[in-house]
Amino acid sequence: MKVLVIGSGAREHALVRALTLDPTVAAVIAAPGNPGTDALALNEPVDATDPAAVVDLARRHEVDLVVVGPEAPLVAGVADALRGAGIRCFGPGAQAARLEGSKAYAKEVMAAAEVPTAMAHVCTDEAQLAEALDAFGAPFVVKDDGLAAGKGVVVTEDREVAMAHGLACLAKGGDARVVIEEFLDGPEASLFCICDGTTVVPLDLAQDFKRIFDGDEGPNTGGMGAYSPLAWAPQGLVDDVVARVAQPVVDEMARRGTPFVGVLYVGLALTSRGPRVIEFNVRFGDPETQSVLARLESPLAVLLAAAADGRLEDHDPLRWSAQSAVTVVVAAEGYPASPVTGVAIDGLEELAADDLAEHVHVLHAGTAHDDEGALVSSGGRVLSVVALGDDLAQARDRAYEAVAEVGLEGGHHRTDIALRAARGEIRA
Ligand code: AMP
Ligand code: GLY
């Protein structure tokens, strides 16, 4: 198979890596890719949100499968255009992608499918906003209705901060809406469900760390680290979430004539009243994918092609490594507010030659080559360092040992990824 991967982050580097490990894959093209995918695949420039450009690229390379990494191309209709051109694509069409593109739409589908989630009010003006905040009380959960790269949600005890974020969302104008939700407590988990429009195949659970600082302090980010599996998760959780969340949503989307083909990312809070959906995404999560795919032993291209073809029902049960995976994101100085870019990145070649490399790999995200060909940072989340170990403690030790070898002036990372889980401190 020849596979085209759309996107340029560490998630896409993880996808490219897993695809090249699949013996059925002859070649991978990454568009636009990054300096990390360049070592494994052919990088091709593309405007990923231009459906015609992606179709053109897929045709030019006569690919057998397109895997769309990020949400923006899906919301822009890239998967529809590919399928319309007769090209096999793993990723939902624009209508189905609204499960991520509009939080209000996701709530509507969840209500129709009777999926357990937080109670919510959708507000279109200041008066409704104020009323909804007072109805739920603190802690306040305020969500931009539209796509916001993981930064549209504010959870705060401070009513003024909640109000200010809500007003900022509404100030975008047009049909801007803001969603106010009931606060859900309990540990969070992410479950990626591979869907073919009818059948659901869940991957293993992961947990990510959205806040910028240790101890879950500071603003939300696109994700600062992740680990898998979740030894603390209640037995049967995956089956329960498929039965109560993913399958009903896939059935509802099929009933609406907008079948869901791709990853339904179910973000959960494991509350005292049972699992509740916090959010849906319509693609692999970043950085959870880096940890989950490090443990997947089944060939990835075979799985994703089966989903694209509506043949998941016949797919072999997935095989997983018994090891634990920990991913630590190395972020640029100033991330998430205003990342400093163009800073030299050192130590990766030494790391690749080290004994540690047997258990650790480094995935690129915000990296680029400068005019002299040297590797420099080009975005907020620069690298994902992924380590495997016999348990979380060993995987953590290896990941942090590797992170210490990476040179990025002003760079920072969380030091507590998977720490509480490794210590057995998480109770669901
Ligand atoms: P989202 O973009 O919807 O995933 O929200 C980002 C983060 O905000 C989540 O990972 C949670 O940590 C937090 N969050 C979102 N919704 C809620 C909620 N209803 N209750 C508590 N925390 C929430
Ligand atoms: N890990 C969160 C996300 O991918 O949205």
- Cα(305) to ligand 1 centroid in Å equals 32
How sure is the predictor about 151, in pLDDT bands with cuts at 50, 70 and 90?
Answer: low
Residue 230 to residue 391: CA distance in whole angstroms? 11
pLDDT tens-place string over residues 311-333:
999 999 999 999 999 999 999 99
Q: What is the pTM of this model?
A: 0.94
- Among 102, 153, 216, residue to substitute to test ligand 1 (most atoms within 8 Å of Cβ): 153
Q: Using an 8 Å Cβ cutoff, are 376 and 343 in contact? A: yes
- Cα(414) to ligand 1 centroid in Å equals 19
Inter-helix orientation angle 10-20/288-295, to 10°: 10
Ligand 1 proximity of 285 Cβ (cutoff 6 Å): no
pLDDT tens-place string over residues 153-173:
899 999 999 999 999 999 887
- Cα(326) to ligand 1 centroid in Å equals 22
Specify the pLDDT at position 172: 84
Inter-helix orientation angle 126-136/159-170, to 10°: 150
pLDDT tens-place string over residues 92-148:
999 999 999 888 899 999 999 999 999 889 999 999 999 999 999 999 999 988 776
Ligand 1 proximity of 145 Cβ (cutoff 6 Å): no
Q: How many CB atoms lie within 10 A of CB 217?
A: 9
With 0-12 / 13-18 / 19 or more C-beta atoms within 10 angstroms meaning exposed / middle / buried, residue 124 is: middle
Residue located nearest, by CA, to atom 5 of ligand 2: 285
Atom of ligand 2 nearest to the CA of 286: 4
Inter-helix orientation angle 247-255/94-101, to 10°: 130
Q: Which-ligand-closest: CA of 190?
A: 2
Q: Using an 8 Å Cβ cutoff, are 379 and 366 in contact? A: yes
Q: Which amino acid is at 62?
A: E
- Among 75, 286, 289, 291, residue to substitute to test ligand 2 (most atoms within 8 Å of Cβ): 286
Residues whose beta carbon lies within 6 Å of some atom of ligand 2: 150, 208, 223, 281, 285-286, 288
Specify the pLDDT at position 149: 62
pLDDT tens-place string over residues 351-368:
999 999 999 999 999 999
pLDDT tens-place string over residues 50-77:
999 999 999 999 999 999 999 999 999 9
- Cα(176) to ligand 2 centroid in Å equals 22
Atom of ligand 2 nearest to the CA of 284: 4
Residue located nearest, by CA, to atom 3 of ligand 2: 285
pLDDT of 150 over the 80 cut? no
Ligand 1 proximity of 286 Cβ (cutoff 6 Å): no
> Looking at residues 376-385, what average pLDDT do you find?
98
8-state DSSP, 317: P
Residue located nearest, by CA, to atom 7 of ligand 1: 153
Ligand 1 proximity of 141 Cβ (cutoff 6 Å): yes
Tokens of 18: 């897993």
What are the structural domains of the chain? 2-90 (3.40.50.20), 119-181 (3.30.1490.20), 186-314 (3.30.470.20), 324-422 (3.90.600.10)
* SS3 call for 41: coil
pLDDT tens-place string over residues 16-46:
999 999 999 999 999 999 999 999 999 999 9
Provide the mean pLDDT of the chain.
Answer: 96
Specify the pLDDT at position 152: 83
Ligand 1 proximity of 118 Cβ (cutoff 6 Å): yes
